[in-house]
């Protein structure tokens, strides 16, 4: 079966060709993968730019959607449409960048018959992460009286965050360094689109500035995150989901102890399966969200195009979603 195999921890040791994925347990189900997707973590793994893969050789790919081909499970009989995202796939066990995937039933998410597998991978980890961030924000009673900022808005997670916030009735300020994406983000539902350096908060650093925003979904990390925190209003929240700028930041406790601001960590790879299945079910049942998938920039590619795409992702030359097809 065609797939991508990363042979060692050295850079650019990937191989594209016929592979035989590992069946870790006798009870693993055999999934005939139809689609996968390429995320930032996958780009790092394929090109060997970071220690994403925990052993070698390994098939990367944290997402996959397909049909059960062999099973002893009553919950997932042969012919069931399923997906996986996170949960160790493409990190601690063979992942979705191959036409066959072996997986235990307790790591599978059932896909309703009326939902296409291509749409599942358009959503993928990016859409799930945005949904998890929204879940965290809403659980912490995110106010609606002031705007919510989304940084890195033209990326996959950012785009889905804009859609979910706007459909939930929040005013959204979408931040992107790519001016050519401004109209695209407005079409997704953003009320305002600008570069970060065009915001009032970018002009100076202060431990506690004007309370301008109800909250934020931050893809950047670093001092962008620090500046956002100091301008969140009473009992607002910031969901931290990325480190495109920097993994480290210097901040103050003042927003937290004087305004009750929450800094919420979002780890989609490690979500409990009940929560993962519940949130995917919510996405599938949300008609407005599923219809909005037609607005998401996406491309469908073959395996041979994956390495070049990974380079573009790491060089910030890519936006939207990239879906890998295993259909003939």
Element (H, E) at 70: strand 63-70
Res 22 pLDDT > 90: no
- For residues 13 and 1, the model is more confident at 13
Res 328 pLDDT > 80: no
| Prediction pTM value | 0.95
Q: What is the per-residue pLDDT across 235-260, written as a single tens digit (0 to 9) for each? A: 999 999 999 899 999 999 999 999 99
CATH of domain 2-111+297-325: 3.90.180.10
At 133, give phi and psi (nearest 5°). Answer: -60, -45
Q: What's the helix, strand, coil split of the chain in %, to 5?
A: 35, 25, 40
Q: What is the per-residue pLDDT across 118-166, written as a single tens digit (0 to 9) for each? A: 999 999 999 999 999 999 999 999 999 999 999 999 999 999 999 999 9
> How much is the average pLDDT of 56-67?
97
Handedness of CA 264, 82, 48, 314 (dihedral sign): negative
Handedness of CA 171, 176, 179, 185 (dihedral sign): negative
Superfamily (CATH) of domain 125-268? NAD(P)-binding Rossmann-like Domain (3.40.50.720)
* Domain chopping of the chain, boundaries: 2-111+297-325, 125-268
Give the pLDDT of residue 260. Answer: 97
Handedness of CA 101, 125, 243, 299 (dihedral sign): positive
Element (H, E) at 4: strand 2-6
Give the pLDDT of residue 316. Answer: 83
2-111+297-325 shares its CATH topology with 125-268:
no
Cis previous bond, 159, omega within 30:
no
CA dist 99 and 96 (Å) reads 8
CA dist 121 and 40 (Å) reads 14
**Are 151 and 217 contacting, i.e. CB atoms less than 8 angstroms apart?**
yes
Q: What is the per-residue pLDDT across 292-321, written as a single tens digit (0 to 9) for each? A: 999 999 999 999 999 999 999 999 888 889
Percent of the chain with pLDDT over 90: 93
- What is the overall mean pLDDT for the chain? 96
């Amino acid at each position: 079966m065609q797939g991508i195999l990363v042979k060692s921890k050295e850079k650019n040791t990937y191989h594209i060709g016929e592979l035989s994925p590992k069946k870790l347990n006798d009870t693993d189900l055999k999934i005939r993968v139809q689609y996968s997707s390429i995320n930032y973590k996958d780009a790092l793994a394929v090109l060997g730019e970071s220690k994403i893969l925990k052993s070698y050789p390994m098939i990367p790919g944290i997402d996959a959607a397909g049909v059960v081909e062999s099973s002893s499970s009553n919950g997932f009989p042969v012919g069931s449409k399923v997906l996986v995202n996170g949960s160790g796939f493409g990190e601690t066990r063979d992942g979705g960048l191959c036409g066959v995937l072996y997986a235990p039933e307790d790591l599978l998410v059932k896909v309703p018959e009326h939902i296409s597998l291509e749409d599942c991978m358009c959503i993928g980890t990016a859409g799930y992460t945005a949904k998890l961030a929204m879940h965290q924000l809403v659980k912490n009673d995110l106010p609606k009286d002031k705007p919510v900022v989304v940084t890195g808005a033209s990326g996959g997670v950012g785009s889905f965050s804009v859609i979910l916030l706007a459909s939930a009735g929040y005013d959204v300020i979408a931040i992107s360094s790519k001016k050519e994406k401004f109209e695209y983000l407005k079409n997704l539902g953003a009320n305002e689109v600008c570069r970060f350096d065009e915001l009032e908060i970018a002009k100076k650093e202060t431990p506690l500035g004007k309370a301008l925003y109800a909250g934020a979904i931050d893809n950047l990390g670093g001092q962008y995150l620090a500046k956002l925190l100091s301008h969140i209003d009473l009992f607002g929240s910031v969901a931290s989901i990325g480190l495109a700028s920097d993994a480290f930041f210097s901040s103050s406790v003042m927003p937290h102890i004087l305004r009750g601001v929450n800094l919420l960590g979002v780890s989609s790879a490690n979500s409990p399966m009940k929560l993962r299945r519940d949130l995917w079910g919510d996405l599938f049942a949300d008609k407005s969200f599923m219809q909005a998938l037609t607005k998401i920039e996406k491309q469908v590619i073959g395996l041979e195009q994956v390495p070049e795409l990974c380079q573009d992702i790491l060089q910030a030359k890519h936006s939207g979603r990239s879906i890998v097809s295993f259909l003939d």
